[in-house]
A and B are shown apart, each in its own frame.
Chain A
């Protein structure tokens, strides 16, 4: 397919479909993440990229037959590997036999009060944020790295004289999309509220910092898309948002450091309170907050830098257009 817009749309549909698959497989947390990240924000970022690079793919010089052969071979190997897999959902599968029963016992069933308990009804959150909390810390660092990478590659130094032109472009945009703008204005508070709900309800239902961060960022991005970047920039200071991204990671890490200072191991939430369940609750709440802050900031950083490129180019184009029309004028005079 040569039309990249269609490709982006299809990948969005793919994301939504796989999210529904996950729901039918009872993995609602994964489905939620897939819906908000795979179908939501990544499609949005792809669209922004297409707006910068153009909609159609150029014809290729090389023939991708070797690549096709390698991909085909990989696919065959993967299918070959599934032949000996345990059946889906089988209670005898090793994945359901070894570590999982303990996770369930500690969280959902909670029969045995003597063992370490997390006391969080959502077992996925318990595994993500407590048992394997260090992995999640790593994931937050991955997101942070991605944000910094985008900054290092795409950040544009803007000159004040361009700002005026950009503002003019944005003004012209204001006359368009009137209905969308009014609808969005009404919607944004609800989106933000929903994000906060997802953020803090992660202990009990599907949700958590990653999904909440993405939804929160989506609200800002929607605003920026319809009201122009310069208006949005008045709300969100670029330096501040970078510092926030860093602070999110630091919040997560400092929970671990506090555990160390209290004489426990890194990220041992039992150190945070005399009551172990209260400690786990507090720990998970704080680290999820850190996750949410970093994810929101990084998504906003990525979008602003993508869109900033586009905007700069438009400003430059309008400059060249002005010059050419000036040239036209001089010709007429001649």
Chain B
């Protein structure tokens, strides 16, 4: 059974989704989804161990060898992403049943879990596969389920947000498909490994150049790179809390994985960074993203909006690390993928707990919550500190490596700008803290109790992870380093 782990990683949630629909009873379905996601998590742990000890795993589907059939290919980078996605999904699901009770009508609960599992399977599929077209198929599964999940939000504006995301996401997916199609036309293959071998012969053609351009733009739409981020804040703000916590921690990460995989492993570093002035473009957009989105975050009245804009800024950090294009730079990006998932997972889930008790996520409704919901608010404070990058939290680790990478390259101004970006993070995190601890509770709002245990448990699992991986960085740094070195073709 061990050899089948790569495929089981994806088909367990994929087949559990229709099974959920047959089960029908919401509580039962929740338990079933939780177990499914837990199994996916265990599989990803086992895959990571295998990859770290024995190297890349290849699994051919249908028994057809690689360029003819579809291949699953798990190396350090894939295994790392699989672990992030399945871990976050499992922790978030713990709180799901409690949270959706107040946010989604009862007759939609089963459908919610079906869509959630489909979305999980879609993301895992994108990451696990070694076939360019298979990426697109699973991208469709994850996107379609994402649009529907977002539209389930309590606020009617969620429909509009979901529609915006649908249009932008579909354009992104179509661009990616055009890119893949043109690549197939020039090489006759869809297998990533094979593409990497056959593309260099034809890189001088205009067709490959156009394929590359379309692919990059499509992926940037998906990963919400400034200025293509317009869909993200509303989608995150109006989606059900659970959905926001899950997507904020995973979905943009998957797009960043695609960017790294295609530019580094398929097109190759020399092509990717020489045909277009990609380094300059990404560096500029990344830095602009950090500043514009952080400043926008400061002026938000809704905490979910605030954190969503902060997500756009964090994507900026990842892109800056990527554009440095050294092993350390890429490593910083990979570390931030992991660390940001922990921070935003914890923060959005804690905000979900507030939504559960207070029924709103407006900043003014946070007033006085520091005393009424002390445990939840403490989680938000730790998550916020991590977002700023205070030592002993994971945020510090990723900022540290990012600075290191910038300084290694002699890019002092960039390093200073990164630090300035962190100062902006202090401002927007402070606004939440100020409202929660230093303002009197609203008079017209009933005092609320602490969030139930089903919320506190997953929130604090993530918060503890924020601190644990901020102190003991062996796992994240080791894997990120191995992944980044193998992408640069350096033998460790």
B59 at interface, CB cutoff 8 A: yes
Digit string of A233-256 for contact with B (CB within 8 Å is 1, else 0)?
000000000110111011001001
User: Quick check: B141 and A142 within 8 Å, CB to CB?
Assistant: yes
User: Quick check: A145 and B112 within 8 Å, CB to CB?
Assistant: no
**CB contact list, A256-304 vs B, under 8 A:** 256-257, 259-260, 264-271
**CB contact list, A146-163 vs B, under 8 A:** 146, 148-149, 151-153, 155, 157
Contacts of B200 in A (CB 8 A): none
User: Quick check: A95 and B19 within 8 Å, CB to CB?
Assistant: no
A174 at interface, CB cutoff 8 A: no
B237 at interface, CB cutoff 8 A: no
Contacts of A83 in B (CB 8 A): 206-207
Contacts of A155 in B (CB 8 A): 107-108, 111
B157 at interface, CB cutoff 8 A: no
Contacts of A133 in B (CB 8 A): 61-62
In angstroms, Cα B145 to Cα A330, docked, is: 52
Contacts of B4 in A (CB 8 A): 260, 265-266
User: Quick check: B206 and A84 within 8 Å, CB to CB?
Assistant: yes
A246 and B144 in contact (CB under 8 A), knowing A153-B151, A253-B11?
A: no
In angstroms, Cα B22 to Cα A288, docked, is: 21
A78 at interface, CB cutoff 8 A: yes
User: Quick check: B134 and A151 within 8 Å, CB to CB?
Assistant: no
Contacts of A253 in B (CB 8 A): 11, 14-15
Which of A99, A130, A141 has the most CB atoms of chain B within a 10 A radius of its CB?
A141
A134 and B148 in contact (CB under 8 A), knowing A81-B209, A86-B185, A265-B59?
A: no
User: Quick check: B206 and A243 within 8 Å, CB to CB?
Assistant: no
User: Quick check: B186 and A264 within 8 Å, CB to CB?
Assistant: no
In angstroms, Cα B209 to Cα A152, docked, is: 41
**CB contact list, B174-220 vs A, under 8 A:** 178, 182, 184-189, 198, 202, 205-211, 213-214
In angstroms, Cα B61 to Cα A211, docked, is: 25
Which of B111, B198, B214 has the most CB atoms of chain A within a 10 A radius of its CB?
B111
A317 at interface, CB cutoff 8 A: no
Q: Which of B61, B138, B151 has a CB less than 8 Å from the CB of A265?
A: B61
Contacts of A149 in B (CB 8 A): 115, 144-145, 147-148
In angstroms, Cα B111 to Cα A148, docked, is: 7
In angstroms, Cα B59 to Cα A142, docked, is: 23
A246 and B63 in contact (CB under 8 A), knowing A132-B70, A153-B148, A153-B151?
A: no
A interface, by DSSP: helix, strand, loop or mixed?
helix
User: Quick check: B188 and A148 within 8 Å, CB to CB?
Assistant: no
User: Quick check: B134 and A134 within 8 Å, CB to CB?
Assistant: yes
In angstroms, Cα B184 to Cα A327, docked, is: 68
Contacts of B210 in A (CB 8 A): 77-78, 80-81
B137 at interface, CB cutoff 8 A: yes
User: Quick check: A130 and B62 within 8 Å, CB to CB?
Assistant: yes
Closest B residue by C-beta to A266: B7
A2 at interface, CB cutoff 8 A: no
B69 at interface, CB cutoff 8 A: yes
User: Quick check: A141 and B68 within 8 Å, CB to CB?
Assistant: no
A262 to chain B, nearest CB (A): 11
**CB contact list, A71-110 vs B, under 8 A:** 77-78, 80-86, 93-100, 102-103
B39 at interface, CB cutoff 8 A: no
A138 and B144 in contact (CB under 8 A), knowing A98-B189, A99-B188?
A: no
In angstroms, Cα B141 to Cα A97, docked, is: 31
B158 to chain A, nearest CB (A): 11
Q: Which of A243, A249, A264 has a CB less than 8 Å from the CB of B15?
A: A249
B140 at interface, CB cutoff 8 A: yes
User: Quick check: B63 and A93 within 8 Å, CB to CB?
Assistant: no
**CB contact list, A122-179 vs B, under 8 A:** 130-135, 138-139, 141-142, 144-146, 148-149, 151-153, 155, 157
User: Quick check: A98 and B67 within 8 Å, CB to CB?
Assistant: yes
Contacts of B307 in A (CB 8 A): none
User: Quick check: B214 and A145 within 8 Å, CB to CB?
Assistant: no
B86 to chain A, nearest CB (A): 18
Q: Which of B69, B108, B140, B186 has a CB less than 8 Å from the CB of A142?
A: B140
User: Quick check: A82 and B207 within 8 Å, CB to CB?
Assistant: yes
- Chain B residues with a Cβ closer than 8 Å to the other chain, count: 61
User: Quick check: A98 and B188 within 8 Å, CB to CB?
Assistant: yes
A138 and B185 in contact (CB under 8 A), knowing A265-B60, A265-B61?
A: no
In angstroms, Cα B118 to Cα A144, docked, is: 9
Q: Which of A246, A257, A269 has a CB less than 8 Å from the CB of B18?
A: A246
B21 at interface, CB cutoff 8 A: yes
User: Quick check: B189 and A152 within 8 Å, CB to CB?
Assistant: no
User: Quick check: B62 and A266 within 8 Å, CB to CB?
Assistant: yes
User: Quick check: B68 and A134 within 8 Å, CB to CB?
Assistant: no
**CB contact list, B341-387 vs A, under 8 A:** none
User: Quick check: B198 and A245 within 8 Å, CB to CB?
Assistant: no
Contacts of A135 in B (CB 8 A): 70, 131, 133-134, 137
In angstroms, Cα B17 to Cα A20, docked, is: 38
User: Quick check: A148 and B22 within 8 Å, CB to CB?
Assistant: no
Contacts of B61 in A (CB 8 A): 133-134, 265-268
In angstroms, Cα B107 to Cα A153, docked, is: 11
User: Quick check: B115 and A94 within 8 Å, CB to CB?
Assistant: no
A190 to chain B, nearest CB (A): 31
**CB contact list, B112-161 vs A, under 8 A:** 112, 114-115, 118, 121, 125, 131, 133-134, 137-138, 140-141, 144-145, 147-148, 151-152
In angstroms, Cα B14 to Cα A61, docked, is: 43
Q: Which of B67, B148, B202, B205 has a CB less than 8 Å from the CB of A99?
A: B67
User: Quick check: A95 and B151 within 8 Å, CB to CB?
Assistant: no
Contacts of A94 in B (CB 8 A): 185-189, 198, 202
Closest B residue by C-beta to A157: B107
Q: Which of A96, A145, A245, A264 has a CB less than 8 Å from the CB of B188?
A: A96
In angstroms, Cα B22 to Cα A270, docked, is: 30
Closest B residue by C-beta to A270: B63
A288 to chain B, nearest CB (A): 15
B214 to chain A, nearest CB (A): 7
Contacts of A268 in B (CB 8 A): 61-63
B64 at interface, CB cutoff 8 A: yes
What residues of chain A have their CB less than 8 Å away from a CB belonging to chain B?
Answer: 77-78, 80-86, 93-100, 102-103, 116, 130-135, 138-139, 141-142, 144-146, 148-149, 151-153, 155, 157, 242-243, 245-247, 249-250, 253, 256-257, 259-260, 264-271
Q: Identify the 5 closest CB pairs spanning chains A and B, nearest first.
A: A81-B210, A98-B188, A246-B18, A149-B148, A268-B63
CB-defined A-B contacts under 8 Å, sample of 13: A81-B209, A83-B206, A94-B202, A97-B188, A102-B68, A138-B125, A144-B18, A152-B108, A155-B108, A245-B21, A256-B11, A265-B60, A266-B7
What residues of chain B have their CB less than 8 Å away from a CB belonging to chain A?
Answer: 4, 7, 11, 14-15, 17-19, 21-22, 59-64, 67-70, 107-108, 111-112, 114-115, 118, 121, 125, 131, 133-134, 137-138, 140-141, 144-145, 147-148, 151-152, 178, 182, 184-189, 198, 202, 205-211, 213-214
Other A-B contacts than A99-B188, A249-B17, 17 sampled, CB-CB below 8 A, are A80-B210, A81-B210, A85-B207, A99-B67, A116-B63, A131-B64, A135-B133, A138-B140, A139-B137, A144-B118, A145-B145, A153-B148, A242-B21, A257-B15, A265-B7, A266-B11, A269-B62
